[in-house]
Amino acid sequence: MSKSGANLPTGPQKMTPSEAFVETMVANKVKDIFGIMGSAFMDAMDIFAPAGIRLIPVVHEQGAAHMADGYARVSGSHGVVIGQNGPGISNCVTAIAAAYWAHSPVVIITPETGTMGMGLGGFQEANQLPMFEEFTKYQGHVNNPKRMAEFTGRCFDRALSEMGPTQLNIPRDYFYGEIEVEIPQPNRLDRGPGGEKSLDEAAELLANAKFPVIISGGGVVMGDAVEECKAFAERLGAPVVNSYLHNDSFPASHPLWCGPLGYQGSKAAMKLISQADVVVALGSRLGPFGTLPQHGMDYWPKNAKIIQIDADNKMLGLVKKISVGICGDAKAAAVALTKRLEGKKLACDETKADRAKTIASEKAAWEKELDEWTHEKDPFSLDMIEEQKKEVTPTGGHYLHPRQVLRELEKAMPADVMVSTDIGNINSVANSYLRFEKPRSFFAPMSFGNCGYALPTIIGAKAAAPNRPAIAYAGDGAWAMSMVEILTAVRHDIPVTAVVFHNRQWGAEKKNQVDFYNRRFVAGELESPSFAGIAQSMGAEGIVVDQLDQVGPALKKAVEMQMKEGKTCVIEIMCTRELGDPFRRDALSKPVRFLDKYKDYV
């Protein structure tokens, strides 16, 4: 452990628990907290400003927790969320679950009913620890006002050491009183590369590998290990594939980059990893959803030796059978393995040039396929395309093919961009088109897969990195869950750009009704007024796009407004009702009916 933090007075001092709470956050360099004000923590909130802490009021507490997630993922430090006891806190559960699966060091502060009223069923009373038990790495409950600084400090320490959300639960009457306390200095874990024996075993496997492949995972981003991953890959001449929804874990311009695995990922990445005799999962838990068959390919190499490197030992071998497990930091492990391979003759050295040609060829083939893949070709999508040829948009234009739109957005992306994507059909197809040059640039709800994620998360990211362009992608269903946070962006001068794909349907689930339920659509259709118009009513800019050649210019204009004028803008893109592949073909079964009244529903 190393000590770091502000230059604080040492030794015990007399203060209130509110002061101890706030001063411990100061020691942890907290500058921004997202939430909605409440009486439960008002005594502490009263001194946020003189402590240098900004409380950013949101519209809904779920948005606040998503903002804290985005803030943490960009900054690499804590994101902090707070709310009123009871309903304010319960509103955060979904977003904390998303942060948990993204390994975000979010600290959720949960003021609680006072100790003298607990158990009596009073106003806004709730047992708040069980709500978050599954989705936190640590739960600190202040059981005595004298321990306020201790539990606060521990929650901040554990969020970073275990890379995940922690909960600080504080009975509301414990903010008051007089205590003698020393503000704890932050403890920061100094991570190592893993055990010498496992590193040696991994190096031996790699020395004999003929077609090694590296999976660059979220641990590469969190460990600031991209340069070390590059050096490691270059020594091996190994193709590098991104783990699912970690498209920012390796620069897309690098010759060894091959794109993401998983749903709607890169065929080049999948074809290359299928040839591997040794796979190095660098900073990846190898989550099941990120290695499922896709594009009709069951690409996971069945006979390859797997070296898995993860800072959490519980992840090693959990999902995939492994040959070597290394409990270590992605950066340190990559350095240690590269050093072990220095000066050695490797089995893969002789084939480096041939493998480079194979990598380039597979990537070129995939790019050509994407260029030519202008629309979906399944029967339902073709029917929708034909039907919508006869329609015009409310502004007199045309409904656009989502894949063409995504390709145009990709071309128009600014340098140093940050992108968040919601869950849904078009957003998932976007996985094929989102490429990045630097880490901490791509944010998605990961395996929790909740709607309403993209906008608040990108607002939090923008608050942490105000000089970077910030863009959110959302479908019309998911967008409606969180679009009110446009008010937060406008009210508090946190300008972002949102791209809303308006196809008037819950696309991901509707695809299941196409594939399994004979196009019997129940609750899948969405009719909405103009989202650009709604944005304008909230004080933002709005642009409706219904011509393909408007897509790139609209994004560039919106980003320019964001960066030069401090304006939030919603780009509403009118899309056809065609649908990409389903999330999982193994998730549903063909329906069977035994009762006569349902016999036609098969």
- 434-470: pLDDT as tens digits: 999 999 999 999 989 999 999 999 999 999 999 999 9
Model confidence band, residue 3 (pLDDT cutoffs 50, 70, 90): low
H or E segment and range at residue 487 = helix 486-491
Please report how many Cα atoms fall inside a 13 Å half-sphere around the Cα of residue 570, on the Cβ side: 32
Model confidence band, residue 168 (pLDDT cutoffs 50, 70, 90): very high
pLDDT score of 6: 47
Average pLDDT value over all residues in the chain: 95
Burial of 199 (0-12, 13-18, 19+ CB in 10 A): buried
- What's the start-to-end Cα distance of the chain, in Å? 61
Q: Please tell me the distance from the alpha carbon of residue 110 to that of residue 135, in angstroms, as a whole number.
A: 14
Mean pLDDT to the nearest integer, 528-547: 97
Model confidence band, residue 581 (pLDDT cutoffs 50, 70, 90): confident
Structural contact between residues 459 and 496, judged by C-beta atoms closer than 8 angstroms: yes
pLDDT score of 390: 85
Structural contact between residues 576 and 401, judged by C-beta atoms closer than 8 angstroms: yes
pLDDT score of 37: 96
pLDDT at 568 over 50: yes
